[in-house]
Amino acid sequence: MQIRHFRIHSFAISDPPLRSSFGLHAPLALRTVIELESADGVIGIAETHGGSGPAETLESLRPQVIGQDASQLMASLTALRSQSKYRTALSALEVAALDLVGKTVGLPVHALLGGKVREEVPFSAYAFYKHAWGESKYGEALTPEGLVTQVQELIADYGFGSVKLKAGVLEPDQEIETIRLLRQTLGPTVPLRIDPNCVWSVATSVRVGKALQAELSDGGYLEDPAEGMADMAAVRAGLLAEGIDMPLASNMAVVSFETLAEAHKTDACQVVLGDHHYWGGLRAVAALGRVCETLGVGLSMHSNSHLGVSLMAMAHVAAATPQLSYACDTHYPWQSADEEIVAEGRIPIVGGNVRVSDAPGLGVTLNYDTLARLKERYEASPIRARDDVAEMHQHVDPHWQRRRW
Ligand SMILES: O=C([O-])C(=O)C[C@H](O)[C@@H](O)C(=O)[O-]
Ligand SMILES: [Mg+2]
């Protein structure tokens, strides 16, 4: 399993005009796929964040990757683990190495992680306020009613059993109304979660939590309402003082084992959104499950605009992590079917679930024609990093600034 070739592919995929408190998604989202090829010609793959920064960090590790045995690669890179700038690159290398090992020995990645405790991994509908332009089949959603229509369409297409609202876009009262309308429309049993990406003050966060006490209970949560550990802890304390034991979830204050330890001291986070792309890989997320169990904290999963290699890697680790207590996030429905780089085709989401593959490795391989097309798009575009503010300035409001409510 000696690694002979290390290929790094930067590419761009279409992305609809989705809104968040950070601004507006650009028409192109950047991704990277890596390939590790062994002396026997077996290829392990992984998908990670895109643009020049991630590609350069991966490139800088080439001398430490070439010539290593794939089964020992992560051990050989141990010294870099403590440096946060390498965490995303190490995560991608770990996934690709596990895929290579799995494809060589004939075992699926979930088996290499200790075995699957579930065949199907639940994912949540990820609803966004959205503009009309672009080629997405989902139309404009800039009102509570528009958002509910979008969610109904997502559920009709994928059967999702829970819903996340990307908030921090409209006035908080309109977002409260959106969640209430979702509850009325979807009935009492669909868990709802709301994530304004830290754009609310402590007082607003507590006010929204109080207003949505009923709607966000029973499997829902309030995700990253306020910025930083101290404010998250203050929101928690404020809600408890009102007699509201609503879980706060986080992928912004809690981004590592170190920050989880800090959050635990102040009760700032009751649900961690793990993400193998930046927590250190699939085994780090599996370990996170153990830590969450020990701390009495729930586990969910964060996503970003992604394709099937990333989605299937999430499915493998989620299948092998007994502590997963919430449906995972995924942006997958926002990506175009004709841009899927997985040769086996688009990963089905049925009944809100992804069935984890039992084929060797991740169970997916690359469609090199599609990858070549998406790489050409990357080369032809000047975009090398995500900039949602610039998109807002260009397409919505030249004076837009991130609002703090
Ligand atoms: O839960 C989250 O914070 C995310 O999913 C982060 C993403 O970047 C999301 O805000 C987006 O796609 O705009
Ligand atoms: Mg979030």
Atom of ligand 1 nearest to the CA of 18: 13
Q: Which residue reads 């030249």 in tokens? A: 398
304 alpha carbon – ligand 1 mean position (Å):
6
Q: Where does residue 75 fall: left (phi above 0), alpha (psi -120 to 50 degrees), or beta otherwise?
A: alpha
Q: Residue 403: what pLDDT?
A: 86
* pLDDT for the residue numbered 269: 98
Say which amino acid occupies 48.
Answer: T
Average pLDDT for 149-162: 98
Domains with residue ranges and CATH for the chain:
3-107+367-380 (3.30.390.10), 120-355 (3.20.20.120)
Ligand with smallest separation from the Cα of 277? 1
Inter-residue contact 115 to 356 (CB < 8 Å):
no
Closest residue by CA, ligand 1 atom 10: 20
Instruction: Give the model's pLDDT for residue 377.
Output: 98
Best mutation site among 15, 124, 166 for ligand 1 pocket (most ligand atoms within 8 Å of CB): 166
Task: Just list the catalytic residues.
Answer: 166, 302
- Residue nearest atom 9 in ligand 1 by C-alpha distance: 304
pLDDT, tens digit, 9 for 90 and up, residues 64-117: 999 999 999 999 999 999 999 999 999 999 999 999 999 999 999 999 999 999
If you measure from the C-alpha of residue 4 to the centroid of ligand 1, how many angstroms do you get, rounded to a whole number? 36
Contacts of 13 (CB under 8 A, 6+ apart): 28, 29, 31, 305, 307, 335, 336, 339, 374
Ligand that comes closest to the CA of residue 166: 1
Question: Which residue has the least CA distance to atom 8 on ligand 1?
Answer: 304
Residue 309: what pLDDT? 98
Question: What residue's CA is closest to ligand 1, atom 1?
Answer: 302
What angle is formed at CA 82 by the lines to CA 76 and CA 83, rounded to 5 degrees? Answer: 100
Please give the C-alpha separations between residue 3 and each of 74, 171, 281, 301, in angstroms, as whole numbers: 13, 52, 19, 30
Please write the tens of the pLDDT for every residue from 271-325. 999 999 999 999 999 999 999 999 999 999 999 999 999 999 999 999 999 999 9
| Closest residue to atom 7 of ligand 1, CA basis | 304
Q: CB under 6 Å to ligand 1: residues?
A: 18, 20, 166, 195, 197, 251, 302-304, 329, 331
Separation of 134 CA from ligand 2 center, angstroms? 24
- Ligand 1 nearest atom to the CA of residue 302, by list position: 1
Residue 336, φ and ψ in degrees, nearest 5: -80, 140
For ligand 1, what atom is nearest to the CA of residue 224?
3
pLDDT in tens, 170-181: 999 999 999 999
Ligand 1 atom having least distance to the Cα of 331: 12
Neighbours of 351 (CB within 10 A): 12
Could you give the percent of the chain with pLDDT greater than 70? 100
Query: How close is the Cα of 169 to the center of ligand 1, in Å?
Result: 12
Q: Is 248 within 8 Å of 273 (Cβ atoms)?
A: no
Q: Whose CA is nearest to atom 13 of ligand 1?
A: 20
Gap from CA of 251 to ligand 1 centroid (Å): 9
Contact between 108 and 115 under an 8 Å Cβ cutoff? The reply is no
Residue 250: what pLDDT?
A: 98
Identity of the amino acid at 81: R
CA of 375 to the centre of ligand 2 (A): 28
Is residue 44 classed as helix, strand or coil in its secondary structure? strand
